[in-house]
Amino acid sequence: MAEVQTFHPVTGSEIVNTAKNMLKEGYRLIQICCTKTPTEMDIIYTFEKLNLQCENFKLPVNVGDTLPSISGVFFAAFLYENEIHDLYGVNFTGMAVDFKGTLYETAVKQAFSMTGAENKE
């Protein structure tokens, strides 16, 4: 237990090529997760091989940024990307299925892009 996990840095322009490389090496996408803290915001892509080996990539991002979608490489990515679009306000281009902000219809738009510390004022 408690193995050390590394998060490889990656940029928005590289992410599609990274995903293609991972696909070639036999990895599959298991999650995309967006994190917003008061100081930073990033998206984590986790890939996993069939032998359970796992790789993480960290992509720094800001609210309102536009990123290329990787759903052309990994079909399953469209759900995660729509989720991040609806909750964090990060835009993706070329999603396999684009819900246009209707996946999660929250009362407050981009509900998760505000952190608790900012909300408290």
Partner 1 sequence: MGERTIIPFGPQHPVLPEPLHLDLILEDEKVVGAVPSIGFVHRGLEKLVEKRDFHEMMYVIERVCGICSFIHGQGYVQTIEGIFGLEIPDRAKFLRTIWAELSRVHSHLLWLGLMADAYGFESLFMHCWRVREKVLDIFEETTGGRVIFSVCKVGGVWKDIDNETLKRIVEVLNVVEQESKALTDVFIKDFTVQKRTRGVGVLSYQDAIDVGAVGPTLRGSGVAMDLRKLGYAAYGELNFEPIVEKDGDCYARTIVRVRELYQSIDLIRQCVSKIPDGEIEVKVKGNPKGEYVSRLEQPRGQVVYYGRANGTKYLERFRVRTPTFANIPALLKMLPGADLADVPLLALTIDPCISCTER
- Residues contributing to the site for partner 1 (CB under 8 A): 1-2, 5, 7, 28-31, 33, 35-37, 44, 46, 48, 50, 52, 54, 56, 74-76, 78-80, 86, 97, 99, 102-106, 111-112, 115-117
Nearest approach in angstroms of CB 52 to partner 1 is 6
Nearest approach in angstroms of CB 46 to partner 1 is 6
- Residue 88 CA to residue 14 CA, distance in Å, equals 21
**Per-residue exposure over 76-115, b if at least 16 CB sit within 10 Å of its own CB, e if not:** ebbbbbbbbbbbbbbebeebbebbeeebeeeeeebebbee
Nearest approach in angstroms of CB 33 to partner 1 is 5
Between 11 and 97, whose beta carbon lies closer to partner 1?
A: 97
Instruction: Report the run of H or E that residue 35 belongs to, with start and end.
Output: strand 27-36
Nearest approach in angstroms of CB 82 to partner 1 is 9
Between 67 and 113, whose beta carbon lies closer to partner 1?
A: 113
CA diameter of the chain? 47
Cα-flanking dihedrals φ and ψ of residue 85, to 5°? -60, -45
Between 35 and 91, whose beta carbon lies closer to partner 1?
A: 35
For the record, the structure tokens of 107 come out as 């009362």
